[in-house]
Chains A and B, each alone.
Chain A
Amino acid sequence: MMGRGYMNSGDICTRARLAVAIASALSVAVALLVTASPWRAHAEDEPQAPSITGARADFAPNDPPGEWHRPSRDYANTRYSPLDGINRQNVAQLRVAWTFSDGELNGHEGAPIVVNNTMYLVSPFPNHAYALDLTKAGAPLKWVYSPNPAPLAVGKACCDVINRGWVYADGKLVFNLLDGHTVAIDGDSGKELWRTKVASPAQGATTTMAPFVVHDKVYVGNSGGEMGVTGTLFALDLATGRELWRATSVGPDKMVRIGPDFRPFYPWMRGQDLGSSSWPPDMWKTGGGAVWGWISYDPAANLIYYGTSNPSPRVPMQRPGLNLWTSALFARDADTGMAKWAYQFTPHDQWDYDGINESTLLEVPFNGTQRKVLVHFDRNGFAYTIDRATGEVLVANEFGYQNWSQGVDLKTGRPSVVATMQPKPDVELKRVCPPDIGDKDWQPSAFSPHTGLLYAGIFNLCMDLTDHRQSYIPGAPYDGMEMKRYPASGDNWGAFIAWDPIRGRKVWELKERFMVMSGALTTGSDLVFYGTVDGWFRAVDAWTGKVLWSQKLESGVIGNPIAFLDTEGREYVAVYAGVGGAAMVSKSMPGFPSQGGTLYVFSVGGEPIHRQWVDGLQESAEK
């Protein structure tokens, strides 16, 4: 059933084959030379060999290769592990080393964190945190922390009571509770250090995103683009939890933290108080622009980058105007929060194309010069390569099927809109592509510094859409979209792609019958890991897309895989299984799995922590 479609990309493919040959030869040489070491990390101070596309990344803050401190591992959001103990030669022997149930069902959208031989996990609501001891056989539980969040939040979360990730910084585990609070707990003892309120569930706001930490600051945002919230990013003090500043996505410049330094690249986004004047009077106050996705950080420029959600209500007829700064991207000074530039992917968004997906920070050769860019797969079906110093769009090409736009004009930065694809209240509009959840949702992509490609799980969907006018009622949905979703072509709801961010095209694509809504993991051994909504967890060759290993798990995989080492230098790959979230739009498909909530940890041959100790037990039992 697994359809397989390679998209040709001329010279890239030829060069890729050559590179595979070179890489295989090299790996043999390396295996001969470094037999004593169970793994080989690419030293951080070693200059990176150029990748095939020429794209490269800065892996700051350069955490130890065997650890994983933040959801995307580095500030640039690459999700790249330099480990290569699990590689193309042995990946077919991956087996379960151990599993851990966190006792909760619902969608598991996070990545495990590994620091100081401890693994940290956070469950969906009610957001229990667990610390597992990686120095002992079976990785036993060290402690559980139960934050007791308000049940009120359960019915305010539009798309399941999920949590998208947690972060370890300065001895603390920091994460959001569904009920609008950010907490920090002591990484050793599990004791709560601080709890800060950033959102009010009674007003329809929840907190689902993974906090992002840079130096002494924690950045968090609110969810609730379907509830008419005022989308906001908060900076908290990592030491105390005290709010340092907040920046809204809608409203006058003062609230949005726009000052004289704000210079959007395109003239149509320049002007005073556009965050309120691009709306009918006062409608920005309930205008959404929630901040529920990923943040990245450029240490050299000291800028953070993040996207904003759809405008509220989702019925465009009720809010004529550009609806700035919804479905957009902000670059802000990491210390002051002042905006440097912004770019609206989908002006006056009419289809729920949130702009919250990840931005991966790369450096690429482009038309003869080196450019520092961010790469962003938007829900609207276009993958953007944007100069991250200025906000200039260099590439904006389709990575999935879409029919709402004839393309993005690179001179003006504006997408053209197909007139017949604009919904009107109470009239059913057939076959709008992509649907509300986009050609790709929040599930983050990964980057390989060897291939210079990005790898992403995507969707292949359209919708029939009927809008219904809405009134704002605090704490109730402010939505109005009635949808039926179905595959854009064939019977595959999803795919996994390799993307060239410079040429703006797919290098290969694996069609999947179910959605691919897991994050991706790239490794130093040129493997890429991802999971499917029907519960397959796969390893593929980064160069060719060849599936090298697949394992069916207890439930759908919408978590984000990681790689790490134990004290003996053994490499593991770990991922949560537990379907939920937006994946539930496909729940009536035959074969859709039931819920789960288990972390799976794999190693070559299923070798566990302290194999000798485990073997010893077996021997004594046999005697």
Chain B
Amino acid sequence: MKAAWFLSAFLVIAVDAHADHQAHASAQSNAQSTAEASNLAAVPLGDVVGAAPNWTLPQLNLQAAKPGSAKSGEALFRTMNCAYCHGLKAKGVMGPDLTDGYWRYGGTPALIFKSIAEGRPQGMPAWGKMLPAAAIWDLVAYIESLGGAYPTGDEEAALEGDLAKGDTKPGAGLFPATMGSY
């Protein structure tokens, strides 16, 4: 019962605002998707021990060239309720700020994709079963457009904190604002 309502709600959203995703996603061949998935699986979450880090792995947004991707991602960010965890401006509420370049689980487009698709242990749900890959890349594009992802070509420096800038603001630093009530 719940599942049916949940699925239909999703379909309404998808058809309503994101018909282009469906078309785009279905255009991809299965073989392509499989290759993409195995490449993504090879992207390590941590720093690499025993070898030089291989930044030639597919760290970039595979849909970088898609027009309107970030805009579609922004709409999804609201309709899939991401906004009520990460804030309507993605500045962090229950979940972390996605605009500040500080990434617990890595900030390359591929690692952001993996965080969305696989979920993360402190409450981030895994969206990989619910959203097609094309929609997840749109979300990644939206986050990139907010300046949240590591800059292309500087991934290693970002990982080591070389690009970090300090913030000065009143309040309690990294601690996120809360929505204010239960």
Contact = CB atoms under 8 A, between A and B. Distances in A.
What is the interface residue range for chain A against chain B? 35 or more
Given A473-B81, A476-B81, A592-B172, 6 more contacts: A155-B123, A438-B181, A476-B80, A477-B81, A584-B178, A585-B180
A582 B171 contact: no
A485 B180 contact: yes
Interface stretch (A93-101, A156-164, A181-189): A156-164
Nearest to B89: A482
B94 interface: yes
A248 to B, nearest CB: 16
A465 interface: no
A309 to B, nearest CB: 6
B172 A587 contact: yes
Nearest to A105: B175
Interface string B87-106: 01000001100000000000
Contacts of B169: 588
15 contacts: A152-B122, A158-B178, A158-B182, A159-B179, A160-B178, A224-B182, A282-B5, A472-B9, A479-B84, A580-B178, A582-B178, A582-B180, A584-B180, A587-B177, A595-B175
Contacts, number: 141
B13 interface: yes
B178 A208 contact: no
B58 interface: no
A201 B125 CA distance: 11
Interface string B126-142: 00001000000000000
B1 interface: yes
Contacts of A65: none
Given A282-B1, A473-B80, A476-B80, A155 B95 contact: yes
Contacts of B9: 471-473
Contact of A475 (B5, B125, B175): B125
A154 B171 contact: no
Nearest to A223: B182
A48 to B, nearest CB: 36
Contacts of A473: 6, 9-10, 80-81, 125, 130
Interface in B155-182: 169-173, 175-182
B96 to A, nearest CB: 9
Nearest to A229: B182
Contacts of A579: 172
Contacts of B146: none
B26 interface: no
Interface of A: 105-106, 151-160, 201, 208, 223-226, 282, 285, 290, 292, 309-310, 352, 354, 356, 379, 435-438, 441, 468, 470-480, 482-483, 485, 579-582, 584-585, 587-595
Interface in B38-81: 78-81
B11 to A, nearest CB: 10
A588 B170 contact: yes
B172 A593 contact: yes
Interface of B: 1-2, 5-6, 9-10, 12-13, 78-85, 88, 94-95, 121-125, 130, 169-173, 175-182
A155 B171 contact: no
Nearest to B169: A588
B174 to A, nearest CB: 9
A337 B118 CA distance: 41
Contact of B176 (A223, A437, A584, A591): A584
Contacts of B81: 470-471, 473, 476-479
Contacts of B85: 155, 476-477
A584 B182 CA distance: 13
A201 B172 contact: no
B123 A225 contact: no
A181 to B, nearest CB: 16
A474 B181 contact: no
Contacts of A580: 175, 178
Contacts of B6: 471-474
A285 B84 CA distance: 20
A230 to B, nearest CB: 11
Contacts of A472: 5-6, 9
Given A151-B122, A154-B122, A475-B125, A590 B182 contact: no
Contacts of B78: 468
Contact of B182 (A354, A478, A595): A354
B181 A437 contact: yes
A437 B175 CA distance: 19
B172 A226 contact: no
